[in-house]
């Protein structure tokens, strides 16, 4: 696949039928943000609110992400936000490897088109999908391959608020890395 621009990729995602997730989705969630963003955030998968709106990180985890971005001195409107897969898995389960593999072409296209200076992988699913690595506890806060910052997924921070300071600290690294 050699898409021309981000809008074309979004259209391909919205009409995708590569895996069974399209059968239950309300809306695909391609991602949002400027195609010229210097920072890209990659999460796991859309949740219920995202499935209803077609926009990433608009539920509780999204509100936490917004607050953390603000604390880190980043404007949401200036970052490109997406997920490893673009349709909500049933009951918010973790994406299956086959779903990630089918959706990977879209994520790769987004990375190629946006060509951010730094990419933030939020959570184990994103780290595993993009880098083939596991172990968020050991990798968190590190920049790998001079391009990928590993941090918690906002939903994990919701479950354990003790991670909020580390999450904000990681996002500050993003801010510095995009300068």
Number of helices (H) and strands (E) in the chain: give both, helices first. Answer: 8, 5
Kindly state the percentage of the chain with pLDDT values over 90.
91
**All structural domains of the chain:** 6-177 (3.40.470.10)
pLDDT level of residue 57 (50, 70, 90 thresholds) = very high
pTM: 0.94
Tokens 């895996």 appear where?
19
Per-residue pLDDT band at 107 (split at 50, 70, 90): very high
Q: What would the pLDDT profile of 1-10 be if each residue is shown by its tens digit?
A: 444 799 999 9
DSSP letters spanning 91-152: GGPPPPHHHHHHHHHHHHHHHHHH--SEEEEESHHHHHHHHS---HHHHTT-EETTTEEEE-
Does 136 score more than 70 pLDDT? yes
| 179 pLDDT higher than 70 | no
């Amino acid at each position: 696949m050699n898409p021309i621009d981000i809008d074309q990729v979004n259209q391909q995602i919205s009409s995708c039928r590569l895996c069974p997730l399209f059968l239950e989705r309300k809306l695909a969630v391609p991602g949002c943000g400027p195609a010229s963003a210097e920072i890209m955030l990659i999460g796991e998968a859309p949740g219920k609110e995202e499935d209803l709106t077609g926009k990433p990180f608009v539920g509780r985890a999204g509100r936490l992400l917004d607050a953390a971005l603000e604390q880190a001195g980043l404007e949401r409107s200036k970052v490109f936000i997406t997920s490893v897969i673009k349709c909500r898995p049933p009951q918010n389960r973790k994406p299956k490897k086959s779903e990630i593999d089918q959706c990977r072409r879209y994520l790769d296209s987004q990375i190629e088109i946006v060509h951010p200076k730094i990419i933030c992988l939020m959570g184990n699913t994103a780290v595993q999908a993009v880098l083939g690595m596991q172990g968020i506890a050991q990798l968190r806060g590190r920049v790998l391959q001079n391009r990928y910052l590993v941090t918690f997924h906002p939903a994990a921070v919701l479950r354990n608020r003790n991670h909020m300071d580390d999450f904000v600290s990681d996002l500050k690294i993003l801010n510095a890395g995009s300068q």
